[in-house]
Amino acid sequence: EVQLVESGGGLVQAGGSLRLSCAFSGFTFDEYVIAWFRQAPGKEREGVSCISDSDEYTYYADSVKGRFTVSSDTAKNTVYLQMNSLKPEDTAVYYCAATYYAGSLYPKLAEYEYDFWGQGTQVTVSS
């Protein structure tokens, strides 16, 4: 059974940093791509970043480029999202998601591309 569990959310002041973790199980990372999404109150869920095994492939939304970094630790079955220079508009519930990678085109950040989802972790950035 595929499971994704996010942690690391919290309250931080603007300009601060947080690191989110996504612990995954039920699959081997070399066959999947894992992404981070977020959903702010009253807004649609949007893709933030995604990563493949060994960090071979990474992709970022324009809104977070240069501020967020996605990485992985295969030994710990965990993907991280380091978030720096946080802004109030980064406030959202952050989700990790996974999709099977068939070895052709890498997915990007469309919701329909991802089949498995975690429960989310709240990030609140105060001004």
Residue 62 has pLDDT above 80, yes or no: yes
pLDDT at 56: 86
C-beta of residue 94 within 8 angstroms of C-beta of residue 35: no
- 10 contact partners, CB below 8 Å, separation of at least 6: 18, 122, 123, 124
Residue 15 pLDDT > 90: yes
How would residue 107 be classed by pLDDT, with cut points 50, 70 and 90? confident
Average pLDDT over the chain, rounded to an integer:
95
Task: Give per-residue pLDDT as tens, 67-78.
Answer: 999 999 999 999
Q: Which of 6-10, 89-93, 103-107, 114-118 bottoms out in mean pLDDT, i.e. has the lowest? A: 103-107
In the predicted model, is pLDDT for residue 122 greater than 90?
yes
* Res. 55 pLDDT band, cuts 50 70 90: confident
